[in-house]
């Protein structure tokens, strides 16, 4: 599978001709801007570390990361395997495919809702299904006809795997995670505005105390931390595109450039101007792509 991905490596884009499928090859620890979207990622070679709030997640070849929410990260390190590059592949989740499969499968015992993301080792069945999908990169004329059925096969195998309880949540119209996701959708579209916690809790249909508790359980951070991380990641993208720090601060909703600089430095480890220079020199933007 690694060799197949390497044959189709595109250093300018992680996306492929197969809908929702991405592949990534990294040969050095480059700075990256990551806002993981709802999806699954399988590491084929090497390992990856991601910082979610103050929690470091690490997984290596043969392990799969799955998330049902957009998960902002503040640090990503791609680990090489000797002189071999990091190789990964990811698939953005399609809500329609998952809900259709869940409806066709036997009902699973209802358990306590798991967190909104997890890491599991994958079975041979999952590997073979994923390889069937990747194989279409070798025969691009077959993609239009076969990609949908092979994606469905992969999702079916993932639902049968230890990721199943997590992924089954996407088919539920009710539940704490569904409520939290409604709030996250609002926050992602209003990151440059003030953060009225009562308004967001009302969108989720919870009291403020309940919303804070369930949001932290799902994302490993408080709603305020999540909102701030979204805002500062948007600022980082503007800085990398050569927008100056003061204009960036106002563009993402800060009223004080000095407060923006302090919070940016605290999150990313460098002041805005210096971090922007590092990013422009050697930038890999993998925002909302799970690889």
| pLDDT of amino acid 73 | 77
For residue 88, what are the β-bridge partners? 24, 43
> Can you give the pTM of this predicted structure?
0.81
Residue 202 placed within a domain: yes
Co-location of 161 and 234 in the same domain: no
Phi, psi at residue 18, to the nearest 5°? -85, 125
Single out the residue in 127, 152, 171 at which a domain terminates.
171
Closest CA to 75 of 232, 272, 268: 268
Closest CA to 14 of 109, 89, 93, 112: 89
Give the Å distances, CA to CA, from 108 to 38, 99, 160, 204: 22, 14, 10, 26
- Report yes or no: 192 and 253 within 8 Å, Cβ to Cβ: yes
Count of C-beta atoms within a 10 Å radius of residue 254: 20
The three-state secondary structure class of 93 is coil
Tokens of 207: 């009291």
For 229, the domain range is 176-280
Report the pLDDT value the prediction gives residue 23, as an integer from 0 to 100. Answer: 95
Pick from 171, 206, 230: which residue ends a domain? 171
pLDDT along the chain (291 residues), means of 10: 94 90 85 70 94 84 92 82 92 92 83 77 96 97 98 97 89 75 91 91 95 90 92 89 92 95 90 83 52 64
Cβ–Cβ < 8 Å for 87, 5: yes
Task: Tell me how far apart the 2 most distant CA atoms of the chain are, in Å.
Answer: 56
Same-domain status, 39 and 21: yes
User: Does one domain contain both 9 and 146?
Assistant: yes
Q: Please check whether residue 21 is in contact with residue 133, taking contact to mean a CB–CB distance below 8 angstroms.
A: yes
């Amino acid at each position: 599978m690694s060799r197949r991905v390497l044959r189709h490596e595109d250093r300018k884009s992680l996306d492929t001709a197969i809908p929702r499928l991405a592949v990534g090859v990294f040969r050095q620890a480059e700075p990256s801007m990551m806002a993981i979207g709802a999806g699954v990622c399988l590491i084929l070679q090497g390992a990856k570390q991601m910082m979610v709030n103050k929690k470091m997640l690490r997984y290596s070849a043969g392990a799969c990361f799955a998330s049902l929410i957009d998960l902002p990260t503040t640090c990503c390190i791609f680990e090489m395997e000797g002189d071999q590059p990091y190789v990964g592949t990811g698939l953005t989740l399609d809500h329609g495919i998952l809900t259709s499969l869940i409806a066709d499968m036997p009902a699973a015992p209802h358990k306590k809702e798991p967190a909104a993301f997890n890491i599991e080792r994958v079975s041979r069945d999952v590997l073979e299904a994923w390889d069937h999908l990747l194989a279409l990169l070798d025969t691009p004329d077959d993609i239009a006809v076969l990609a949908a059925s092979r994606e469905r096969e992969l999702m079916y195998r993932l639902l049968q795997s230890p990721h199943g309880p997590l992924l089954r949540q996407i088919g539920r119209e009710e539940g704490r995670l569904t409520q939290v996701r409604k709030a996250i959708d609002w926050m992602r579209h209003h990151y440059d505005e003030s953060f009225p916690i009562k308004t967001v809790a009302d969108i989720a249909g919870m009291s403020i105390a309940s919303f804070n508790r369930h949001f932290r359980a799902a994302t490993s951070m408080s709603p305020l931390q999540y909102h701030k991380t979204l805002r500062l990641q948007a600022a980082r993208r503007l800085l990398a595109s050569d927008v100056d720090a003061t204009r960036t601060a106002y563009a993402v909703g800060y009223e004080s450039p000095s407060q923006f600089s302090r919070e940016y430095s605290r999150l990313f480890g460098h002041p805005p101007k210096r971090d922007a220079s590092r990013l422009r020199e050697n930038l890999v933007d993998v925002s909302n792509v799970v690889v």
